Amino acid sequence: DAGVTQSPTHLIKTRGQQVTLRCSPKSGHDTVSWYQQALGQGPQFIFQYYEEEERQRGNFPDRFSGHQFPNYSSELNVNALLLGDSALYLCASSEQGIYGYTFGSGTRLTVV
Amino acid sequence: AQSVTQPDIHITVSEGASLELRCNYSYGATPYLFWYVQSPGQGLQLLLKYFSGDTLVQGIKGFEAEFKRSQSSFNLRKPSVHWSDAAEYFCAYTGGSNYKLTFGKGTLLTVNP
């Protein structure tokens, strides 16, 4: 049974560009959350998607947007990249109403 | 706003020694508490979780944690550390209808042979 799958694993982008990160949740999970983990820090909540709607959002600018598809997979989009967006982006999936989160291995984004 | 504090940034222990990692959370009526471990460059693996009931919870890899409501703490323990336990450990909290996980800044564990 595959866990949470994220792609790509690494990527390098230039300031001002746009990036899309992808996440496939664990089988049976219908809720996807995204977190940003800067070097040496704990993960910070970006937003959560359920039933293709953004249900909750953390303290991130509108440059960060997302989408959830009918098969529960999700994308995180970041526009107008800044050097400070360099981080490990983690996707976590869970089952509605169940407080149990499974994390993927993350996408390491480097902005140069 | 909910918050999680991990007072120890870095802990070094000898292999075979006991371990306790500290975690304190801000007040919440119904705390849901987690401990995750992260190896370098990897995602987070759940060690254990507390929702309700018995305040001493057992997790994977021989870890346990004790919830103390009076102290707003959820400390992680292991009686005998193995070299493979070297990693970063994160305590996390969510409360009530708030869906997001709030993480501490982590404790880096080094294990000396």
Residue B56 in tokens: 């001493």
For residue A66, give how far its alpha carbon lies from the nearest alpha carbon of chain B (Å): 16
Put simply, whether B60 touches A (Cβ < 8 Å) is no
Mean pLDDT calculated for residue range B17-45: 89
Contacts of B46 in chain A (CB under 8 A): 100-103
Mean pLDDT calculated for residue range B35-62: 91
pLDDT of residue B27: 66
Cis peptide before A8 (omega within 30 of 0): yes
A52 alpha carbon, distance to own chain's centre: 14
A27, A94 in Cβ contact below 8 A? Answer: no
For residue A79, give how far its alpha carbon lies from the nearest alpha carbon of chain B (Å): 23
Contacts of A48 in chain B (CB under 8 A): 99-100
* Cα A111 to Cα A83, B78, B110, distances in angstroms: 5, 39, 30
* Cα B86 to Cα A61, A70, B109, distances in angstroms: 35, 39, 5
Instruction: Go through chain B and tell me how many residues it has.
Output: 113
* Cα B85 to Cα A71, B44, B60, B78, distances in angstroms: 36, 14, 12, 10
Chain B residue with CA closest to A55: the answer is B99
Which of A48, A88, A102 has its CB closest to that of B99? A48
Contact state of A106 with B100 under an 8 Å Cβ cutoff: no
Spatial separation of the C-alpha atoms in residues B5 and B7, rounded to whole Å: 6
pLDDT in tens, chain A (112 residues): 569 999 999 999 999 999 999 999 999 899 999 999 999 899 999 999 999 999 999 999 999 999 999 999 999 999 999 999 999 999 999 887 667 789 999 999 999 9
Count Cβ atoms below 10 Å from residue B60 Cβ, excluding itself: 10
Which of A55, A90, A99 has its CB closest to that of B51? A99
Which of A99, A102, A105 has its CB closest to that of B42? A105
B98, B1 in Cβ contact below 8 A? Answer: no
Chain A residue with CA closest to B33: the answer is A99
